[in-house]
Amino acid sequence: MGKKKRGNHNRQAQAPVPVIQEQDTGAGPLPKMKRKEYEKQMRILHGELVAMQEWVKGSGAKICVVFEGRDTAGKGGTIKRITERVSPRVFRVVALPTPTEREKSQMYVQRYVQHFPAGGEVVIFDRSWYNRAGVERVMGFCKPEETERFLELVPAWEKAMTDSGILLLKYWLEVSPDEQTRRLESRINDPRKTWKLSAMDLKSYSRWYDYSRARDAMFAATDTAWAPWYIADADNKRRARLNVISHLLGQIPYKPLAHQDITLPKRQPPRGYVQPDVVLRHIPAPF
């Protein structure tokens, strides 16, 4: 898999603003990917993520990945597939709860800074400081002037992050109105998914275009050369996960793992060991 490096900081300060079509104007969506093909491609990408992990550990790189998007866009599922075959000591997921009263009194970005990566770490934010540009703005949890001030300041703040050696990657997962409706209805009707449904989701659902306006303003203010937004069409979950992971790998200059010939050593002889004659509590085995 070819690797490409991030654009350098000598590019113009403001990158072109991403454009998202609210309606599908193409030839139609791609067909759903078969599970067998999906798992085959995911297995390859998981191997590459392990290689990337070893490079991060060895090089001391600091990588920060931000996932944003509407409710049901598939942020959690994508993050799960990124992290399921790598070490939690290297890959750390941050999904902060509602701020406490103490945190509300702090400088807004303060609660996020403490979670930034140290050398040899990959930190993934499942929603981030961009809450101020999205849910807080749309749901009235902050004042309009607070959002405006945030959008003014965040490019310089992210420039300070990247100048300190953090590789910052920002992903927006875009889902269509019809697909969002289908996924929310699935959460309502499937007892395995009801925990994902909150009163906030229902309120957010009714404010589709308020979120669209907030997203557009966020892109216009914070899509920069040093921290651009990358957009993934997330209507097809399997394709979206593969596309995001493939793109993520392409932004990091890691090297493939060299194959190692490893032979298991011989086990020691029992040297008189005898299984103790005690009653052990084995669990039932109905399967």
pLDDT in tens, 57-98: 999 999 999 999 999 999 999 999 999 999 999 999 999 999
Q: Which residues of the chain have pLDDT under 50?
A: 1-17, 21-25
pLDDT at 10: 39
**How big is the chain by its Cα radius of gyration, in Å?**
22
pLDDT at 257: 85
Concatenate the DSSP letters of all residues of 235-285 into one string.
SSHHHHHHHHHHHHHHTS---PPPP----PPPPPP-TT---------PPP-
pLDDT at 26: 53
Q: Which two tokens stand for residue 210?
A: 């308020």
pLDDT at 258: 84
Give the integer Cα–Cα distance in Å for 279 and 239. Answer: 51
Tens-digit pLDDT profile for residues 200-236: 888 889 999 999 999 999 999 999 999 999 999 999 9
